[in-house]
Every structure is written in C-alpha cells, then in structure tokens.
C-alpha cells in the first residue's frame, strides 16, 4: 500500500507500509490514481512547476515527449488543491479630504478599487441631504461596497462619509450634535474584536462661522469622554485643521496636550496638504497597536494627500453570494407541452380543491425540473466595470511609474508630469464610460428594455437592498415576520375599535340596495385563457413554473386551471396553499437607516394561480356593480375607463362651464 503524506513543499512523499517483500517497481498501472496535495500558497522556490505533474495523459505509441520518454511508464496523477490556511491579513484603511465628491465620483471609486481599500474615510464631501445629490453618493460607491454619509446641515460644504466593503460588518452609532466639527461614528466587528471608527472634519475657524479652537477642544473632550468607555479598539481619523507639524503653535500644543491627557497618540508624521501642513490625522489609544505601516500617497484628487495604513484587524473574506438559476431559454416548449399532456395531471378528477392544487403544483414542478433543472453557484462579489479596457491599465502603469520617479527626485518637472498623467487617466475613465453607454444606446435604439436597463445603470437607479444586521438569513426572516405580524395586529385592533365607535353613524347613513350578488357563475376556459394572457411575466418565488413559460404552454394545463377556479368560486373559500405569498421587505426611502425595522415596508408577491382567481372574482363583482348602477360616480381609480386623466378632464369641464356662466370658481 502506498500512502501519500500531506506536504506543501514536495511533489511526492511516499511511505511504504506493511510487508516490503512486494515488487518495488511493478511498472505502470492505470487502475490506481495517487492523490497529490499541492498547496496553492507554496513559496516560489518550492512551488511545483507545470511540468512536474502530468494529468489526463492518453497512453499510446505516439505520446512521447521530445526527449523520447515513453508515456506508458507514467501514471496519471489527480492533483487536489490544499485548502488555504487561515492567515492573518490586515485591513487596508485610507483617509482622504476629497474637497467635494461632485464630478470626482469615478476617480475616487477607481482609486479605492485600485488600492484595494477596505475602509475609505472621506472628509469635505460637500454633499447635502438633498435628493439631487443621491446620484453622487451612489456613483462613488463601487460594487461590493456600502456607503455611509453625514452631510452638513443648513449650509454648504463639509460632510463626512465612509466607503466600506460589504464583508466588513458595520453598525452605525447614534450621532450627537456639535458646533465645532462634524463626525460619523461606526463600529466594525470582525473575528479579532470590535473597533470604533470616528471620522471627523473640523472646519477652520473664521469670522463667518464664529468658531475657535477653544470650542473644539471642549467639544472634542466631551466626545472623547463618551468614547473612552468603549471596550474595543478606538480609531479617530479626519481633517482636524491643526498644524501638528508646527510644535510652536499654541493651538497645536493645546491639542497635543489634550491627546496626551486622554492617553491618545497620533500616527501621521508627514505633510498631508500641498502647502506642507500635517492636517489629516490618525489617532488611537497609546496602548493599542492598531495602526501599522502608515504611508502618504498622492492621488491628486484634491489639495490633500491620501493617508494609508494597515489596521491590525483580520480582513474578512470577500462577500460571496449563492445564486440559483434555470436555463429557461433552452426549454423546448413543444416538448414541455407534450410532457404536460402525457402527465396524469389532466386525468386527475377530485372534488378536493387542496389535493387538486397540490397535484397541479407538484406536476408542473417535476416537469420544469426535467427540462430546466435548478442550478446553484456561489459567486464572489468583486468591483467590475464593463467599459474598462487595456488602454486604461497601460495609462495607470505609466501613472505609477511617474509617481515613483517624482517621490524619488522631488523635482517640480517630475511632479508636473505626474499630475498631467493623473488627469489623463481620469479623462480616459470618463471617456471610456461615456463611449460604452453611447454605443449601447445607439446600437439598441429600437429595444426599449435594453435602453431602460442602460439608463438605470447609468443613473444608479437600481439601489441594492439593505437589511438589518443578523447572524443568519433565518434569524433575519423571523425578525421581519415578527415585526410585520405585530404591525398587522395593531392595525386590525385600531380598525376594529374605529368600526365599533362609528357603527351608529354608519347605520343611520346606509342606503338600501335591492340588487343581490348570490353566487359566482362558472368561468369558461376561454375566459381563464384571457386572464392568463393579461398576467405579466413577473413570477413569484412560490410558483411551480415561471409565468413566462406558463403563458407559452397554457393550452395543456388550461382545463385544470379552469377546474380549480370554478371549484373555488363555488365553495367561496380560499385554501391555505393559495394564501401563501412571498414578502420582500423594502426600505421606504434609500437614505433611511437599514437597521431600523420600522423603516421597511412589506412588498408581497402572489402566485400566478392566485392572480387568476383574483381576476375571475374581480371581473364578476365589477360586472355586478356596473349592471346595477352601484359604482361611485366620482371614482377615478380601479374602474374601467376611469383614471386620473378622466378625473382631470371632468374637473376642467366643470370649471369651464362655470366660468362661461360668469360664476366664480374656487379650487381647494
């Protein structure tokens, strides 16, 4: 027996076990495959070369290598990759005073992705809470990131924000109001512990804002006293507008003394402003070894440099998402129809509605699985740009080369060449994106669906769903279910109380009606087919078959659908299987806090068969109301040939008639 010992640095490490009297060189055998574990993290000097292991070798007289070796003497070896061991990889952090994000969104996004920044703190975003700036907020956020932003209230400028990769768990903290500075307070949670990150922007004192250093020191002490009790790591970053490099400045001395009194230390020791001042700071507790490898870089995005560092926090793995899909376009509708006709669904005769619905859903699910089986994949979410091309990569390589030259020489000419190349790269990014979307619009001028998708992507209208933090999907689902259930119970109680209090007034004002709706009539298959045709292509997750496929092969299950609808109408009761619906919580507004359950509204989606039943009931009730003149005369919605347009026309007509009669018209 030959045993292969797990070893990352050797191609083979065989151990002979048992009796050694067997033939040590029995020759090649194709019946045995020796698994060899090869580490994907091996050092370059020890890594296996591509020619070391031969896989899937087809034996034959012609299969010989150039040196004349015979493949018959070799055994095919199946290699299995060794799982990566849990290595400590620190989090990449960046701080930058952007001096307005507006019109720099693409460049800032590209800089964050290029440098693989996990947490990107930004000051002076110059974005307000106005909805007109929502585009800038969503545009600056790359795929796989989430953005947090606190705008300045009641005036222009200021604002602080954070771009954080989604695999970093974040909890936003309650904000206090301070006059002398703006800040954003969050807590990140990882396997190595929790860290509180406070991003601060202190406006420079002036006669306009009537701020001074004494007020800031007082308010900063209040904030520090509040944060000092936090048990985890503490990191305060931002543009403090103190020249900490000038130790003779009185305000700087007071600021440094205050940091020392709280046991805090500042880590930036190089200029961060183009005029040579150190304004952007990283502050931690003196006993914490949180910040390492501080580095100043020059992205030329504003008059400030970018402060990079490594945080001694274990970087979580990239966010992964499991997706499920079916290849619906590859379905042969004719073959699917034949399978439906040959199934025992059409021959099922049962008065039990529950059994009939169960048989209908199970049969359609099984046949769909035969023609388009459900497949699952786990994908890793990474930032991507479809308009990115090789020319941009070449320009960036030149940009980095010029940056290294300038940082080495410190010559004005080298700096100017670097600045020009930065501008050229940013222009290439904008031009490439504009060209990409222009070509899509011009090539698909006659395809509204493609055009709408392109415009929505261009304007960032499709906002990713955000949900409260939870340990698992099951926990999150149960919390939402409990919240919505409690909310529904509260509404029902309130309506019941209001109904009881208004019973007498309703009884006094009710009008007699001689028309009665006694029972539903039987619906024909042609009517059911008409309902199926009017249903949209959107399906519910609970549907046994997508609505788009059902509409194409409706002829086979149509008798069963008609039977289900008619049995239900005659019994006037809805079985439990048709009361189920898929609910997807959605934020009422995109800028609301996603951790608060009250900021969500439930969006429900019914099964296709339930929608058909609703149409059958609505059709007969509408006919009864119309035939007996029971409709509200001023109703302008949920009524055929009546809409807001007809209501406006009616109002306009009444206004014109009254003015023609020389009468005054007052509209409220």
3-state secondary structure 143-198: CCEEEEEECCCCCCCCCEEEEEECCCEEEECCCCCCCCCEEEEEEEEECCEEEEEE
To the nearest whole percent, how much of the chain has pLDDT over 90?
A: 50
Residues 136-154 have a mean pLDDT of: 88
Helix segments in 204-243, DSSP class H:
213-227
CA distances from 343 to 50, 346, 373, 559, 564 (A): 54, 7, 18, 13, 17
CA-closest candidate to residue 307, choices 404, 384, 240, 261: 240
3-state secondary structure of 325: strand
pLDDT of residue 80: 54
Kind and range of the H or E element at 119? strand 119-123
Q: pLDDT tens, 583-624?
A: 999 998 877 888 889 999 999 889 999 999 999 999 999 889
Structure tokens at 77: 């070896």
| Alpha-carbon dihedral 66, 67, 68, 74, rounded to 10 degrees | -90
How many degrees, rounded to 5, is the angle at CA 426 between CA 423 and CA 429?
Answer: 150
Instruction: With cut-offs at 50, 70 and 90, classify the pLDDT of residue 66.
Output: low
Q: pLDDT tens, 326-346?
A: 999 899 999 999 999 998 888
Residues 6+ apart with CB under 8 A from 574: 568, 613
Residues 185-195 have a mean pLDDT of: 88
Q: Is the pLDDT of residue 47 over 80?
A: no
3-state secondary structure of 300: coil
Q: Is the pLDDT of residue 186 over 60?
A: yes
Domain ranges of the chain: 90-314, 390-457, 638-667
| 647 C-beta neighbours (distance < 10 Å), count | 14
Backbone angles phi, psi at 228, to 5 degrees: -65, -25
CA distances from 559 to 267, 566, 626 (A): 76, 11, 29
Q: Which CATH superfamily is domain 90-314 in?
A: Endonuclease/exonuclease/phosphatase (3.60.10.10)
Residue corresponding to tokens 């009468």: 663
Q: Is the pLDDT of residue 155 over 70?
A: yes
pLDDT of residue 13: 40
Q: pLDDT tens, 495-531?
A: 888 777 665 565 555 666 778 888 899 999 999 999 9
Rounded CA separation 5/15 (Å)? 7
Query: Hey, which residues does 424 pair with through a beta bridge?
Result: none
Instruction: With cut-offs at 50, 70 and 90, classify the pLDDT of residue 445.
Output: confident
Q: Are 380 and 319 in contact (CB under 8 A)?
A: yes
pLDDT of residue 53: 39
Instruction: With cut-offs at 50, 70 and 90, classify the pLDDT of residue 641.
Output: confident
Average pLDDT, whole number, for the chain? 84
Q: Is the pLDDT of residue 629 over 80?
A: yes
Q: Is the pLDDT of residue 170 over 60?
A: yes
pLDDT of residue 504: 59
Q: Is the pLDDT of residue 72 over 80?
A: no
Q: Provide the whole-model pTM.
A: 0.68
Instruction: With cut-offs at 50, 70 and 90, classify the pLDDT of residue 14.
Output: very low
CA distances from 244 to 94, 214, 268, 276, 280 (A): 19, 16, 9, 11, 9
Q: Are 544 and 361 in contact (CB under 8 A)?
A: yes
pLDDT of residue 414: 93
Question: How would you list the strands of the sheet with 160-165, edge to edge?
Answer: 145-150, 160-165, 119-123, 90-97, 306-314, 291-297
Structure tokens at 267: 């880590």
Q: Are 444 and 454 in contact (CB under 8 A)?
A: yes
Instruction: With cut-offs at 50, 70 and 90, classify the pLDDT of residue 117.
Output: very high
pLDDT of residue 180: 95
Residues 6+ apart with CB under 8 A from 630: 513, 515, 624
pLDDT of residue 8: 41
Residues 403-407 have a mean pLDDT of: 91
Q: Transcribe 410-434 into DSSP letters.
A: --HHHHHHHHHHHHHHHHHHHHHHH
């Amino acid at each position: 027996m030959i045993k292969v010992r797990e070893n990352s640095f050797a191609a083979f490490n065989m151990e002979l076990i048992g009796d050694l009297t067997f033939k040590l060189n029995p020759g090649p055998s194709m019946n045995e495959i020796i698994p060899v574990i090869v580490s994907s993290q091996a050092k370059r000097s020890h890594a296996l070369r591509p020619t070391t292991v031969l896989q899937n070798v087809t034996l034959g007289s012609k299969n010989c290598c150039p040196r004349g070796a015979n493949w018959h003497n070799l055994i095919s070896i199946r290699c299995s990759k060794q799982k990566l061991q849990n290595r400590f990889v620190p989090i990449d952090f960046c701080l930058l005073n952007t001096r307005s994000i507006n019109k720099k969104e693409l460049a800032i996004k590209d800089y964050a992705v290029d440098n693989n920044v996990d947490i990107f703190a930004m000051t002076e975003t110059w974005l307000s809470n106005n909805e007109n700036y929502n585009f800038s907020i969503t545009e600056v956020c790359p795929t796989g990131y989430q953005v947090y932003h606190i705008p300045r209230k009641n005036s222009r400028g200021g604002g602080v924000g954070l771009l954080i990769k989604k695999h970093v768990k974040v909890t936003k903290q309650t904000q206090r109001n301070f006059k002398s500075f703006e800040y954003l307070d969050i807590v990140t949670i990882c396997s190595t512990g929790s860290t509180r990150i406070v991003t601060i922007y202190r406006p420079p004192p002036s006669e306009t804002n009537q701020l001074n250093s004494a007020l800031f020191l007082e308010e900063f002490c209040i904030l520090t006293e509040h944060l000092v009790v936090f048990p985890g790591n503490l990191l305060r970053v931002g543009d403090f507008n103190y020249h900490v490099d000038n130790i003779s400045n009185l305000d700087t001395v007071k600021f440094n003394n205050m940091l020392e009194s709280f046991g805090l230390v500042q880590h930036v020791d190089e200029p961060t402003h183009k005029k040579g001042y150190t304004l952007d700071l990283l502050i931690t507790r003196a006993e914490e070894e949180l910040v390492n490898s501080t580095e100043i870089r020059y992205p030329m995005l504003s008059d400030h440099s970018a402060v990079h560092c490594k945080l001694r926090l274990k970087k979580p793995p990239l966010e992964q998402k499991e997706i499920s899909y079916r290849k619906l376009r590859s379905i042969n509708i004719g073959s699917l129809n034949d399978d439906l006709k040959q199934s025992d669904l059409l021959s099922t005769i049962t008065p039990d509605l529950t059994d009939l619905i169960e048989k209908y859903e199970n049969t359609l699910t099984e046949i769909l699985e035969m023609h388009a089986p459900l497949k699952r994949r786990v994908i890793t979410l990474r930032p991507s740009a479809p308009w990115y091309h090789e020319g941009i990569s070449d320009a960036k390589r030149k940009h980095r080369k010029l940056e290294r030259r300038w940082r080495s020489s410190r010559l004005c000419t080298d700096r100017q060449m670097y600045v020009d190349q930065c501008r050229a790269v940013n222009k290439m990014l904008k031009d490439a994106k504009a060209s990409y979307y222009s070509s899509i619009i011009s090539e698909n001028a006659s395809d509204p669906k493609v055009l709408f998708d392109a415009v929505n992507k261009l304007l960032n209208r499709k906002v990713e769903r955000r949900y409260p933090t939870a340990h698992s999907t099951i926990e999150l689902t149960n919390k939402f279910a409990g919240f919505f259930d409690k909310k529904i119970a509260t509404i029902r109680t309130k309506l019941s109380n209001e109904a009881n209090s208004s019973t007498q007034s309703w009884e006094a004002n009710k009008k007699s009606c001689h028309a009665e709706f006694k029972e539903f009539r039987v619906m024909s298959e042609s009517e059911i087919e008409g309902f199926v045709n009017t249903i949209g292509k959107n399906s519910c997750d609970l549907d046994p078959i997508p609505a788009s496929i059902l509409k194409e092969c409706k002829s086979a299950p149509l008798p069963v659908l008609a039977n289900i609808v008619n049995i239900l109408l005659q019994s006037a009761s809805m079985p439990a299987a048709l009361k189920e619906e898929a609910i997807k919580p959605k934020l009422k507004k995109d800028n609301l806090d996603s951790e608060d359950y009250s900021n969500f509204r439930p969006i429900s989606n019914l099964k296709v068969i339930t929608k058909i039943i609703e149409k059958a009931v609505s059709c007969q009730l509408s006919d009864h109301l119309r035939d007996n003149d029971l409709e509200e005369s001023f109703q302008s919605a949920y009524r055929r040939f009546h809409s807001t347009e007809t209501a406006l026309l009616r109002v306009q007509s009444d206004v014109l008639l009254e003015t023609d009669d020389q009468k005054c018209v007052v509209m409220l």
